[in-house]
């Protein structure tokens, strides 16, 4: 048992180290030398080794990382962590401000901030102690990367006040540290990261926190997600409170009254951007009044009270070394330009898509051309034009291949379409892309079935089609590179679990051209079974609001092919859900037609995705934000601000237990 003196000394050391971390990482004004700091840390580490029962969850020793995790758990955000809508010029900013002012029916003030180019994270504290951190994910739920975030020195493990608070921030890697990091990787003959953003994201998604701890990551916290018992009325006041609590915020902010103030700030940082020690890709403009933010709400993807101005794309000149083609999931053959590597907007570009043959012809891009390249929205490399005056006569015109480069099958271009396609549905390139799509998170969600694993399975000839996934054996997986007993068991379990995905997911996973997630839901809700969908006529399909002529033709063409019919049959024989309804669900199907549900918080019995999918099967509309059109709010643990808004609007709020009772009264067995 620990003695009292050790316990007291450990508390003193933790307090001292928290203080010095704050001085070093947040204020950039250390009071002691690195040697003195290391001495304090070594003493605490030794005492914790001797008294493991006294280790606390906010101990500074956690900065070095814990043992590796086997995977990341999913965390439901207390309030949605949405991405921002973009503006690319002054006119779009003026339109945004006009919309906000019109909705507010009064003058509105704004706050401008630098848009840090990193990885958005959510940080949760209970009684002032850091308990959980997650990635943005899909905005509603992200990956639990708590152990990795604990290693980031500028994230306080304990706040100056014992508050329950959730905050949002951007983790990034400073440019100087990124260059050093890539130099080290080059020396070790490891693949280089393209830019600091990718390096930060890759570092935070390491299963071993000790790897994350070895990399120089930083954070700027930019907003409050939720806060208990501490009234805040403006965004600026929230930033001041964050600083008081010990968070690192960015000093480059401006309170603006009109578009000219905002534009001046944008122009200032467009010029100053290259001189910052970290990357930014734009300016964020937010409504300052938090009550107005709440009133404005959000769309399914982004808040209405904020917008991101994206800097104009940086343009550079490089040379086209070659033009080759790649085959996509639907057989589309896309020309790809291979370039002499060039630095654009902070990352090295060596390839750029040319989209289709018509664009190559229209821009007259040839092999050997010097070309102007930019990154559209600072993300996608794009060739703007060739520099014709630099041609030597040695340039070669591109010709679309007559045969598929992957399978040597015939290619065709359907009238009215820009894409040339491989018509062989058994093409190896299409199979690879199709299996990757099938296993993706928004499809069958087979955890561990990424592109590298799919490539191994195809090369080993264990898998040729998506149906073959369900015939994989332990012995086959264990024979693959980097597969151990645990990883093989986990993948087989994930494959087995995927059999129970709702019909809408299965339809989307099939990869029918033009059929996305929303159309898949509509098809599942309308036809209820895969067999009924297979037999659907053009008139029945186009009777669905979201289904136009092209989508209907694509669905019919898919099921008309013998190999696709056989594929669906094999999936059904493997036990994949094809939507066959039981007597119970037949009597309750569409029981929630016309009702709108919003889901928030964490649930014990089922995941939020499962609840959403099942509600849609029963006819409900599932929205992302609470409004006057909402009928019910399904609120799990840590429901956050949506519960408050629902109460204000008089909307019925159901806890998880109440929800299942609510279902039982209506004869619904929700688990079916």
CA distance 197 to 170: 10
Check if the beta carbon of residue 170 is closer than 8 Å to that of residue 121: yes
Instruction: Tell me the CA end-to-end span of the chain in Å, nearest whole number.
Output: 52
* Residue 110 β-bridge partners: 256, 287
Q: Counting Cβ atoms within 10 Å, is residue 3 exposed (0-12), middle (13-18) or buried (19+)?
A: exposed
Helix (H, G, I), strand (E, B) or coil at 465: coil
Q: Indicate the DSSP class of residue 73.
A: P
Q: Indicate the DSSP class of residue 87.
A: E
Residue 396 parent element (H or E) = strand 396-397
Residue 222 parent element (H or E) = strand 218-227
Residue with tokens 């643990």: 637
> Six-digit token pair at 508?
């989307």
CA distance 354 to 589: 47
CA distance 256 to 100: 14
As a dihedral over the C-alpha atoms of residue 273, residue 276, residue 277, residue 282, rounded to 10 degrees, the angle is -40
Q: How far is CA 448 from CA 70, 230, 392, 492, in A?
A: 11, 42, 50, 10
**Residue 470 contacts by C-beta under 8 Å, 6 or more apart in sequence?**
495, 499, 571, 574, 575, 576
Closest CA to 613 of 504, 528, 540: 504
Q: Counting Cβ atoms within 10 Å, is residue 363 exposed (0-12), middle (13-18) or buried (19+)?
A: middle
CA distance 489 to 473: 10
Q: Indicate the DSSP class of residue 13.
A: H
Residue with tokens 């069958």: 444
How many whole angstroms from its chain centre is CA 406? Answer: 31
How many whole angstroms from its chain centre is CA 630? Answer: 26
Q: Indicate the DSSP class of residue 641.
A: H
> Six-digit token pair at 47?
């005492």
CA distance 315 to 381: 10
Check if the beta carbon of residue 153 is closer than 8 Å to that of residue 24: yes
Check if the beta carbon of residue 420 is closer than 8 Å to that of residue 333: yes
Q: How far is CA 142 from CA 166, 444, 608, in A?
A: 14, 18, 12
CA distance 174 to 201: 13
How many whole angstroms from its chain centre is CA 391? Answer: 42
As a dihedral over the C-alpha atoms of residue 24, residue 29, residue 33, residue 36, rounded to 10 degrees, the angle is -50
CA distance 428 to 329: 10
Cα-Cα-Cα-Cα dihedral sign, residues 197, 344, 451, 512: positive
What b/e readout covers 525-548, taking b as 16+ CB neighbours within 10 angstroms?
Answer: bebbebeebbebeeeebeebeebe
Beta-sheet pairing, 396-397 with 218-227:
unpaired
CA distance 196 to 182: 10
* Residues annotated catalytic, as ranges: 115
């Amino acid at each position: 048992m620990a003695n009292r003196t050790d316990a007291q000394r450990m508390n003193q050391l933790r307090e001292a180290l928290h203080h010095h971390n704050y001085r070093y990482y947040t204020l950039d004004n250390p009071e002691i030398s690195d040697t003195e700091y290391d001495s304090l840390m070594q003493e605490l580490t030794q005492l914790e080794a001797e008294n493991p029962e006294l280790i606390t969850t906010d101990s500074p020793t956690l900065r070095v990382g814990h043992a590796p995790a086997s995977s990341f758990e999913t965390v439901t955000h207390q309030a949605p962590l949405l991405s921002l809508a973009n503006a690319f010029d002054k006119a779009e900013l003026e339109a945004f401000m006009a919309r906000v002012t019109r909705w507010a029916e009064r003058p509105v003030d704004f706050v401008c901030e630098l848009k840090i180019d990193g990885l958005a994270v959510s940080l949760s504290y209970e009684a002032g102690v850091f308990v959980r951190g997650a990635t943005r994910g899909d905005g509603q739920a992200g990956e639990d990367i708590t152990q990795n975030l604990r290693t980031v020195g500028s994230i306080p493990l304990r706040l100056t006040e014992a508050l329950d608070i959730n905050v949002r921030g951007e983790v990034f890697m400073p440019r100087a540290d990124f260059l050093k990091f890539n130099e080290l990787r080059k020396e070790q003959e490891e693949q280089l990261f393209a830019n600091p953003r990718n390096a930060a994201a890759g570092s935070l998604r390491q299963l071993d926190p000790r790897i994350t701890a070895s990399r120089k990551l930083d954070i700027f916290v930019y907003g409050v997600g939720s806060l208990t018992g501490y009234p805040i009325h403006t965004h600026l006041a929230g930033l001041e409170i964050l600083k008081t609590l010990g968070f690192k915020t960015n000093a480059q902010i401006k309170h603006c009254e009109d578009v000219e103030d905002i534009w001046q700030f944008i122009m200032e940082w467009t010029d100053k951007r290259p001189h910052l020690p970290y990357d930014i890709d734009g300016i964020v403009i937010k409504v300052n009044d938090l009550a107005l933010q709440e009133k404005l709400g959000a769309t399914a993807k982004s808040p209405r009270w904020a917008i991101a101005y994206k800097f104009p794309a940086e343009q550079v000149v490089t040379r086209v070394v070659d033009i080759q083609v790649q085959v996509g999931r639907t057989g589309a053959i896309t020309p790809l330009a291979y370039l002499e590597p060039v630095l654009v907007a902070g990352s090295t570009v060596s390839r750029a898509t040319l989209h289709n043959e018509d664009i190559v012809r229209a821009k007259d891009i040839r092999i050997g051309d010097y070309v102007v390249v930019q990154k559209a929205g600072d993300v996608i490399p794009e060739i703007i034009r060739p520099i014709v005056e630099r041609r030597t006569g040695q340039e070669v015109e591109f010709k679309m291949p007559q045969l598929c480069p992957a399978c040597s099958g015939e290619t065709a271009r359907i009238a009215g379409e820009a894409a040339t396609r491989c018509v062989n549905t058994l093409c190896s390139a299409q199979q690879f892309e199709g299996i990757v799509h099938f296993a993706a998170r928004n499809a069958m969600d087979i955890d561990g079935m990424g592109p590298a694993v799919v490539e191994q399975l195809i090369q080993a000839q264990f898998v040729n089609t998506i149906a073959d996934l369900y015939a994989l054996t332990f012995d086959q997986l264990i024979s693959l590179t980097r597969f151990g007993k645990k990883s093989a068991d986990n993948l087989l379990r994930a494959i087995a679990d995927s059999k129970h995905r709702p019909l809408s997911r299965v339809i989307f996973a099939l990869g029918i051209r033009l059929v996305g997630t929303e159309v898949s839901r509509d098809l599942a809700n309308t036809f209820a079974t895969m067999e009924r969908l297979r037999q659907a006529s053009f008139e029945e399909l186009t009777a669905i609001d979201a289904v136009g002529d092209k989508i209907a033709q694509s669905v019919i063409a898919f099921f008309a092919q013998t190999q696709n019919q056989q594929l669906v049959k094999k999936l059904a024989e493997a036990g994949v859900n094809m939507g066959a309804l039981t007597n119970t669900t037949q009597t309750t199907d569409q029981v929630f037609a016309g009702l709108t549900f919003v889901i928030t918080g964490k649930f014990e019995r089922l995941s939020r995705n499962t609840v959403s999918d099942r509600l849609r099967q029963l006819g409900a509309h599932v929205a992302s934000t609470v409004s006057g059109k909402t009928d019910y709010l399904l609120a799990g643990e840590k429901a956050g601000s949506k519960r408050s808004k629902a109460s204000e609007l008089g909307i019925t709020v159901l806890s998880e237990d109440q929800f299942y009772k609510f279902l039982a009264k209506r004869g619904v067995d929700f688990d079916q």
